[in-house]
Amino acid sequence: MTRLAVPKTYKLYIGGAFPRSESGRTYEVLRADGAFLANAAKASRKDARDAIVAARGAVASWSGATAYNRGQVLYRIAELLEGRRAQFVAEIEEAEGVSRAAASAQVDESIDRWVWYAGWADKFAQVAGNANPVAGPYFNISVPEPTGVVAIVAPQDSSLLGFVSAVAPALVAGNAVVVVASERFPLSAISLAEVLATSDVPKGVVNVLTGSPAEIAPWLASHADVNAIDLVGAGALDWISLEIDAADTLKRVLRPESGPDAAAPALGRISAFTETKTVWHTKSLR
């Protein structure tokens, strides 16, 4: 007896929930050979707005957690990813049309990269911060603090690795993120969101939008409640005007990168989304 397959509709991930797009729109995600693979939600500007509200609400608790705790929570995600390897490998194989070995390699690399960033959570402040020498009996200490809400246009030519490479570093310092997944390969991003939803990451810390980056990115870039925007995957968009929009509200901006080394692991991707706070303190009152 033949069985009718039940295709999954991939939804958005906003504030810890999986809503459909407020607009009701979906779009078809195709395999590499052009056949139908799944339906994904096509996010609207209002979904982006809701995601930013959710992210803003999550900043206080996520940035307020101890660095050690954030590291543990991020590491836990890598553990969960490992447990769902087979699903991610199958998804990448289908969506990108690559060999099982290549898909496996991408998942391995994603998990390793996640672990690498998780490890930095309670270490980057030692590297990015400083005890400054000053001409007086004072401690003068600079520490990196999260900038707040970071909007990300994820790399467009990769299912999982690009997404992980852009999202993980922004989370390390304690930022909450709103990320627009790859338009062609959005499924792994939503599957990762399902991992996040069942991990210890507080709701709203990661919000995933699928759909057209060209449509959503301008709203993210001009939104006054976004503190930084990572345009790593926006190379095909009019990213200069996005940068101009972002400048209106003094956002930090990372520019597009392309090729297999896009968003390569670097401490700079963590410190790009931090603000440096410098405090003075008397050395002693002798």
Partner 1 sequence: MSGTSLVTARERALAVLGGEPDDATLGRYLHGIPGVDAVGLEQRAAGLGTRSIKTTSKQRALDTIISLIDLTTLEGADTPGKVRSLVAKAMTPDPSDASTPRVAAVCVYGDMVPYAVDALGAAHGDPDDGLISVAAVATAFPSGRSSLEIKLADTAEAVAAGADEIDMVIDRGAFLAGRYGLVFDQIAAVKEACRRADGTSASLKVILETGELVTYDNVRRASWLSILAGGDFIKTSTGKVQPAATLPVTLLMLEVVRDWHLLTGQRIGVKPAGGIRTSKDAIKYLVTVAETVGEEWLVPHLFRFGASSLLNDVLLQRQKMTTGHYSGPDYVTID
**Dihedral Cα 182, 47, 255, 223, nearest 10 deg:** 170
Contact flags string 9-48 toward partner 1, x per CB under 8 A: ----------------------------------------
> Counting Cβ atoms within 10 Å, is residue 57 exposed (0-12), middle (13-18) or buried (19+)?
middle
> Counting Cβ atoms within 10 Å, is residue 6 exposed (0-12), middle (13-18) or buried (19+)?
exposed
Written as six digits, the tokens of 99 are 């060999």
Nearer to partner 1 by Cβ, of 29 and 151: the residue is 151
61 binds partner 1 (CB under 8 A): no
Contact flags string 100-129 toward partner 1, x per CB under 8 A: ------------------------------
- Residues 58 and 204: beta-carbon distance below 8 Å: yes
The only residue of 91, 94, 245, 257 in contact with partner 1, by rule CB under 8 A: 245
* Shortest Å, Cβ 221 to partner 1: 9
Contact flags string 214-233 toward partner 1, x per CB under 8 A: -----x--xxxxx-------
- Residues 227 and 152: beta-carbon distance below 8 Å: no
Helix pair angle (100-120, 161-172), 10° resolution = 10
76 binds partner 1 (CB under 8 A): no
What are the angstrom distances between the C-alpha of 276 and each of 58, 144, 257, 273? 21, 4, 25, 10
Nearer to partner 1 by Cβ, of 113 and 251: the residue is 251
212 binds partner 1 (CB under 8 A): no
56 binds partner 1 (CB under 8 A): yes
Written as six digits, the tokens of 140 are 């003068």
244 binds partner 1 (CB under 8 A): no
252 binds partner 1 (CB under 8 A): no
243 binds partner 1 (CB under 8 A): no
Q: Give the binding site for partner 1 (CB under 8 A).
A: 49, 52, 56, 219, 222-226, 245, 248
